Amino acid sequence: MSSKLSDPIEVCAKQSLTTPNKLGDCPFTQRVLLTLEEKHLPYELKLVDLKNKPEWFLEISPEGKVPIIKLDEKWIPDSDVITQKLEEKFPEPSLVTPPEKASVGSKIFSTFIGFLKSKDPSDGTEQALLDELTALNKYLEENGPFINGKEVSAADLSLGPKLYHLEIALGHYKKWSVPDSLPYLKSYMKAIFSLDSFIKTQAQLEDVIEGWRSKVEG
């Protein structure tokens, strides 16, 4: 049974590090916003300065983390929990990824961070990332264009923002890009990044760069 929504859903999100009153660089928040956009649900963004967290925010998010959204008068943290709750409460249009496909590409983000932070070119972190990207490319060749075939689903909305961060951060800090030998992955990234919902909710390039600086420079 689908619920109707009269008031916009409140969403607390990271504020830009570089531009006042702009959305910041959090792939997990973008995942939530993409879910709201693809389900055509109205929402109201509350931007939070995570370097100087206001008292009202710490009262609803004691750990000081985003994203957090208000649903049925309760504040819910964690993008996994939030997206599941949104799917249950607003099942149409469905964004469900079948369980056997839900973990496709799930190791890419951690291997990306490993390579981004690496100071030793021979430590295997680049190859670890390439192995994961190659596996995704092969999967998409056989099952694409999206993770669940022809339609965008929850798994894409989770993976897309992480690939966006990967592309920008590795391009800037490592002068590295996804190789042309992975054409299905490159087409997938282009398709996801071209979605109206993605363009509307993506972080600014300079925010992604700034957001990863401490990981790279220590």
Burial 17-48 (b: 16+ CB within 10 A, else e): beeeeebbbbbbbbbbbbbbbbbeeebebbbb
Q: What is the pLDDT of residue 3?
A: 56
Q: What is the pLDDT of residue 214?
A: 94
Mean pLDDT for each consecutive 10-residue tract of the chain (218 residues)?
72 96 97 98 97 97 97 96 98 97 98 97 97 98 98 98 98 98 98 98 98 93
Is 26 among the residues known to form the active site? yes
Q: What is the pLDDT of residue 157?
A: 98
Q: What is the pLDDT of residue 81?
A: 98
| DSSP letters for 148-195 | BBTB--HHHHHHHHHHHHHHHHHHHHS-----TT-HHHHHHHHHHHTS
Task: Please answer whether residues 86 and 41 qualify as being in contact, where contact means their C-beta atoms are separated by less than 8 angstroms.
Answer: yes
Q: Which of 13, 17, 23, 26 is catalytic?
A: 26
